[in-house]
Amino acid sequence: MTINPTPAQPSPLISLENISVHVPVREWSSRPLKSRFDMIGRAYAMAQRTRWSPILQHVWLDLKPGQRVGIIGPNGSGKSTLLKLLAGALPQSGGRAYRRGKIVAILSSQAGFVMQATGYENIFLRGLMLGMSRREISDRIDDIIEFADIGKHIYEPIGNYSSGMLLRLAFAISTAFDAEVLLIDEWIGTGDAEFLEKARARLEAVVANSRILVLASHNSRVIRSFCNEAVLMLDGQIAHRGDVDTTVDIYRHWLETQKGVGG
Amino acid sequence: MDYFRNILTWRELIVEMAFHRLTGRYRRSILGPFWITLGFLIFALGITTLWATLLDRPFAHFFPYVTLGIFAWNLTGGMLVESSRSFAESRNLLLQCNAPTVIYPLISVLKNIMQIPNYLVVVIPVCLMFGASASLQLLWLMPGLGLLILFSACVAVIMAYLGAFLPDLSELVSSSLRFIFFLTPTIWTIDMRPGMPPVWLANPFYYAIELVRGPVLGTSEPVFIFSIAFGLTVLAALIAVACVRFAGDAVKLRVE
């Protein structure tokens, strides 16, 4: 009798255990130190009283190879914060986070761009920001320039670019590098239909080369296209995790409930 | 050691960002970063002419002294002022990139180091023309410059982390340095007022400037200056390491 051994479950590349993130919020309007004439210490303390606001709470999340997770939720629910935390760009206030493997986070369309620098120079800047070496960037620069389709403007300062050109350049750079864990924030879903069509094939190739994808988006079509499960964020907590259709339905039901509450 | 190795993996980004910070400001100008040299020369010439006229002393007596003083001051002061706002200025990058937070003040430090050739273009000819002392004391110059950079970098790191928690710090540093500039024997000599109590000995900036000026002009005893400066550097380094250790990640929540 042959016994087929149970395939071992892959171990998670990212694991979040009871994560919380609190940020300081000033309760009083900030007053410059030197504009006060009373006792500096007391005036400064009064002007700078802060409270800590939770933007993520009680988050437990394991991400294993093969998972394509979409994060949905209303504005302010903590989607971007969760992505930053997964990327290691933001520290947790409580709980433990474990990460391994090469993580590429595409969290903003324009982060790392220097407006006075040329498109060519910004390719290197943004690539370095993503943790690549100059050699890796040099190996891919022709591919980036070709996909961005900016022509000779690539040697002009990006402060002269249109928003469409910036978006194409940012997308081209961000999707040029292989990653084990790919984290994408919702700016990917912006752009006109022509851009989305052009971006789709490239994104599919990048996603196929990565072991884990986490994608935050308002666009349920984008989530359905690229993800095999979804997480619903509400008020800084994971309200539901499951297949995409069910999670999107739960979100839609919640939105309708909110409209009803709002009158 | 892992932390330092991690910083080294981001060295290309540090160099690239420092280069763009330096050149970005002058992209639309004709002279570019040469304005740093020109501004420095005009200021040094102006102050020297003023002293020579007011005190009726030879121009050559003051020019190398003032030039070296302003060079060392600008190097240190520039790092302090820029680093105190480095996290606020890099906020966008800080919250996207998982590099160690200490790279942001290091970008400011490196940018100021990259400006050194702009000053040397004036400092070296002035010292050669107006009487640098060709003695064994000159051997202290390179170690002195190295220690000056190291001391300034450590204080810059401290200023950066303090600046994240005290939003008005960059304003306070700018204002204070304008006053401390005149309190320090940067452009005035300690023999201008005989009998004055040696208050400059309690001023860390005095040691910073003499690390470079003393070996060239013989204005101070190098062993004494180097010893005090080394002690100050060790202290600053310990505080800087503590800042990175305890506030390294928390600073991201402060600028979020």
Q: What is the pTM of this model?
A: 0.83
Which ipTM did the prediction report? 0.81
Residue B26 lies in a domain: no
User: Rounded distance, CA A202 to CA B7, Å?
Assistant: 32
Structural domain includes residue B130: yes
**Contacts with A122 from chain B: Cβ below 8 Å:** none
Question: In percent, how much of chain B has pLDDT > 70?
Answer: 96
pLDDT in tens, A171-222: 888 888 888 888 888 766 566 677 777 777 787 777 777 788 898 987 788 8
- Chain B CB contacts of A131 under 8 Å are 97-99
d(CA A17, CA A60): 5
What is the average pLDDT across B172-196?
Answer: 86
- Asked if the structure places residue B199 within a domain, the reply is yes
User: 3-class SS at A75?
Assistant: coil
Residue B227 inside a domain? The answer is yes
Chain A residues contacting B via beta carbons under 8 Å: 21-24, 30, 32-34, 84, 87-91, 93, 103, 105, 107-108, 110-112, 114, 116-117, 121, 124-125, 128-131, 133-134, 157
Alpha helices in chain B (DSSP H): 2-9, 11-24, 34-55, 59-84, 86-89, 91-94, 103-114, 116-129, 141-165, 169-183, 204-217, 222-247, 250-255
In the predicted structure, residue A112 carries a pLDDT above the cut 50: yes
Segment (H or E) for A202: helix A193-209
- Residues A89, B13: C-beta atoms closer than 8 Å: no
pLDDT at B138 over 50: yes
CA distance A204 to chain B (A): 23
Residue from A21, A29, A33, A56 whose CB has the most chain B CBs within 10 Å, to mutate: A33
For residue A33, give the nearest of B10, B168, B254 by CB distance: B168
Neighbours of B235 (CB within 10 A): 14
Give the residue on B whose Cα is nearest the Cα of A44: B166
Among the listed residues B73, B71, B55, the one whose alpha carbon sits nearest the alpha carbon of residue B182: B73
Share of chain B above pLDDT 90, in %: 50
Q: Model confidence over B10-56: pLDDT tens digits?
A: 999 999 999 988 887 776 677 777 888 999 999 999 999 988 888 87
Q: What is the pLDDT of residues A117-173, one digit of tens each?
A: 899 999 999 889 888 899 999 999 999 999 888 889 999 999 889 888 888 888 888
Whether residues B249 and A21 touch (CB distance < 8 A) is answered with: no
Mean pLDDT of chain B: 88
The pLDDT value recorded for residue A109 is 67
Which residue range forms the structural domain that includes residue B143?
2-21+31-255
Helix axes A163-174, A119-129, angle to 10 degrees: 40
Helices B222-247 and B204-217: crossing angle in degrees, nearest 10, is 140
Contacts of A43 in chain B (CB under 8 A): none
At B191, the amino acid letter reads D
CB pair distance less than 8 Å for A105 and B93: no
- If one counts the domains in chain B, the total is 1
- Answer yes or no: is B141 within a domain: yes
For residue B46, tell me if it sits in a domain.
yes
Radius of gyration of chain B (CA): 19
Any idea of the CA torsion for A41, A42, A43, A46, to the nearest 10 degrees? 120
The average pLDDT across B117-132 equals 88
Assigned domain for B150 exists:
yes
Q: Which residues of A touch B93 (CB under 8 A)?
A: 111-112, 129
Establish if B200 belongs to a structural domain.
yes
Whether B215 contacts B139, CB under 8 Å = yes
Of the CA atoms within 13 Å of residue B1, those in its CB half-sphere come to 0
Cα separations in angstroms, A53 against A34, A83, B88, B255: 28, 18, 20, 14
Question: What's chain A's Rg over C-alpha atoms?
Answer: 22
- A109 with A164: CB under 8 angstroms? no
pLDDT for A3: 44
Record the tokens describing residue B73, joined without a space: 């001051």
Q: Show residues of chain A in contact with B10, CB under 8 Å.
A: 128
